[in-house]
């Protein structure tokens, strides 16, 4: 849920009769419970800011002190400057309040960061940054309230934040909890219920989610007793030359993702390489100028992919446009994205049917002149192109032209290996070929890709990934 939406949820909750002071009490108490659950009694320094996050901090200080923990409190600004609910809870703290500065840490063994929450949109003040840096230098464990101070709630960008051991947030995660670097700075993320009515949360229309099977599993293709290989879809890829491995891995992934048939069209000179390496994948040599057009004229091909190993050349561009002209589901990856770097408008104008683009950051920058955080850029590119954008990385963002977006968080670092993106394209293609919605197919493909890599562990090669898919699908109970 975006920061503004969470603010609205709090407003509606209070309008429904739950006072703000009670919400703040519930938030602070949730943090106290988490601290007590995680650690034995120790000396704590609670760093409080001038707003509601600071009010949470005073609740935390009072709760820990009541439980017998030695607590000191440091405040950014003066207690007299607090207002509203934060002032109410600050007045209930009867002990000393120090000025927020590195020396206020004293002999603390644990730090609670309740300075700024997810609504911050600027760099940290010098004294705040210095105090947090001092805690980091001393390797003091830090518990953050809502987000680590300096992490932007809607983007995950960090302006002076230091890493927390744990972050306790409330009701729903924000995008900054899932996007990097915010996700890593948050440490373990605990989402606490503070009494926000379910009806309030249900009434706020979400447009951003963390990737999870609950979002797309109901739409996954299902095997049918009366089905056949054609009813399961026919995926067609273009295989380049001399780089042949990328397309071969993508083809195998499409088949493992459930496509009933998978074919690959290749230059005639490359036929022995592809045919010798593939068995259940059908290989079609392109011997004459019109062979590719004749393949596309066959309506039984239900999902199309071009890009891996295709080459950045006029042939790739022409074949990508020919695929898009069919108005069937098309995935453009790698070279089929870069080939439009000088003609982004031509690509956008050619997208008439379901289309997925899967750029990494370099390919994205070649095609789109868009600035901003990752979520903003992916959304803008999807709207401008009319395609589902899969902006790849450790925090892959899947964005639809209508503004919906999903952030993926299950990708292990072992996916940073040559060819893993080609396999991802093949997985998504296999789902598209089975007529799965493009946005949901992209999200499912990204999650399955990450789960397969996590199953393998260290030493992963991209070519291992397709054969790991059946195990992941079995756990999901999917019948693709």
pLDDT of residue 417: 97
**Alpha carbons 219 and 4: distance in angstroms, whole number:** 30
Q: Which of 185, 205, 225 is the last residue of a domain?
A: 205
pLDDT tens digit at each of 480 positions of the chain:
999 999 999 999 999 999 999 999 999 999 999 999 999 999 999 999 999 999 999 999 999 999 999 999 999 999 999 999 999 999 999 999 999 999 999 999 999 999 999 999 899 999 999 999 999 999 999 999 999 999 999 999 999 999 999 999 999 999 999 999 999 999 999 999 999 999 999 999 999 999 999 999 999 999 888 888 989 999 999 999 999 999 999 999 999 999 999 999 999 999 999 999 999 999 999 999 999 999 999 999 999 999 999 999 999 999 999 999 999 999 999 999 999 999 999 999 999 999 999 999 999 999 999 999 999 999 999 999 999 999 999 999 999 999 999 999 999 999 999 999 999 999 999 999 999 999 999 999 999 999 999 999 999 999 999 999 999 999 998 777
- Same domain membership, residue 374 and residue 237: yes
Do 90 and 119 reside in the same domain of the chain? yes
CA-to-CA separations, 185 to 86, 163, 405, 417, 434, in angstroms, rounded: 26, 4, 22, 24, 39
Element (H, E) at 210: strand 208-210
Encode 283-313: b = buried (16+ Cβ within 10 Å), e = exposed: bbbbeeeeebeebbeeeebbbbbbbbbbbee
**Token couple for 173:** 């995660």
Look up residue 1 and give its DSSP letter.
-
Are both 169 and 231 inside the same structural domain? no
Are both 111 and 159 inside the same structural domain? yes
Boundary of a domain, candidates 164, 183, 205: 205
As for how many domains the chain has, the answer is: 2
Question: Do 291 and 340 sit in the same domain of this protein?
Answer: yes
Q: What share of the chain is helix, strand, coil (3-state, %, to 5)?
A: 45, 15, 40
Q: Is 361 found in the same domain as 222?
A: yes
Instruction: Judge if 100 and 231 occupy the same domain.
Output: no
Last residue of some domain: 205, 240, 256?
205
User: Are 166 and 98 members of one domain?
Assistant: yes
Q: What is the CATH number of the domain that holds 89?
A: 3.40.50.10260
Q: Mark whether 218 and 152 lie in a shared domain.
A: no
Judgement on whether residues 139 and 270 belong to the same structural domain of the protein: no
Could you list the beta-strand ranges (E) of 63-132: 71-75, 97-99, 110-114
Q: What is the pTM of this model?
A: 0.96
- Of 191, 60, 51, 182, the closest CA to residue 128 belongs to 51
Query: How confident is the model at residue 480, as a pLDDT?
Result: 72
User: Within this chain, do residues 315 and 240 fall inside the same structural domain, yes or no?
Assistant: yes
Structure tokens at 110: 């644990």
Say which CATH number the domain at 255 has. Answer: 3.40.1190.20
Range of the domain at 185: 3-205
Within this chain, do residues 334 and 228 fall inside the same structural domain, yes or no? yes
């Amino acid at each position: 849920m975006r920061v503004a939406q969470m603010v609205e949820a709090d407003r509606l909750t209070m309008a429904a009769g739950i006072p703000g002071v009670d919400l703040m009490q519930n938030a602070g108490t949730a943090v106290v419970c988490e601290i007590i659950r995680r650690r034995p009694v120790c000396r704590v320094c609670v760093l409080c800011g001038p707003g509601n996050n600071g009010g949470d901090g005073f609740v935390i200080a009072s709760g820990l002190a009541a439980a017998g923990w030695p607590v000191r409190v440091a405040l950014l600004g003066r207690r007299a400057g607090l207002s509203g609910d934060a002032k109410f809870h600050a007045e209930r703290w009867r002990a000393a309040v120090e000025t927020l500065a590195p020396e206020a840490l004293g002999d603390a063994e644990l730090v609670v960061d309740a300075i700024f929450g997810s609504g911050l949109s600027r760099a940290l003040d010098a004294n705040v940054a210095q105090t947090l840096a001092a805690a980091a230098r001393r390797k003091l464990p830090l518990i953050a309230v809502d987000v680590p101070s300096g992490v932007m709630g809607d983007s995950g960008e960090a302006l002076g934040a230091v890493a927390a051991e744990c972050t306790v947030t409330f009701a729903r995660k924000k995008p900054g909890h899932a996007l990097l670097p915010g996700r890593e700075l948050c440490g373990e993320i605990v989402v606490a219920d503070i009494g926000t009515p379910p009806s309030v949360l249900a009434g706020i229309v979400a447009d951003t989610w963390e990737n999870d099977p609950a979002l797309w599993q109901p739409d996954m293709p299902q095997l049918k007793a009366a089905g056949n290989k054609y009813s399961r879809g026919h995926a067609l890829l273009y295989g380049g030359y001399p780089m042949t491995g990328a397309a071969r891995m993508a083809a195998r992934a499409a088949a493992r993702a459930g496509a009933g048939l998978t074919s690959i069209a290749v230059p005639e000179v490359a036929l022995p390489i592809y045919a010798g390496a593939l068995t259940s994948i059908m290989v079609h040599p392109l011997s004459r100028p019109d062979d590719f057009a004749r393949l596309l004229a066959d309506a039984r091909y239900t999902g199309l992919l071009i890009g891996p190993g295709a080459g950045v050349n006029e042939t790739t561009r022409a074949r990508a446009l020919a695929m898009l002209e069919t108005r069937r589901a098309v995935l453009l990856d790698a070279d089929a994205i870069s080939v439009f770097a000088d003609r982004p408008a031509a690509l956008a104008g050619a997208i008439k049917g379901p289309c997925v683009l899967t750029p990494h950051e370099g390919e994205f920058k070649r095609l789109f002149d868009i600035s901003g955080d990752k979520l903003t850029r992916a959304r803008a590119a999807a709207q401008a192109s009319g395609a589902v954008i899969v902006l790849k990385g450790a925090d892959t963002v899947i964005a639809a032209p209508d503004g919906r977006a999903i952030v993926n968080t299950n990708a292990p670092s072992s996916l940073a290996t040559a060819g893993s993106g080609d396999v991802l394209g093949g997985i998504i293609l296999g789902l598209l070929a089975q007529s799965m919605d493009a946005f949901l197919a992209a999200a499912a493909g990204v999650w399955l890709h990450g789960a397969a890599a996590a199953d393998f562990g260290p030493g992963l090669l991209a070519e291992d990934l397709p054969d790991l898919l059946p195990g992941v699908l079995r756990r999901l109970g999917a019948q693709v």
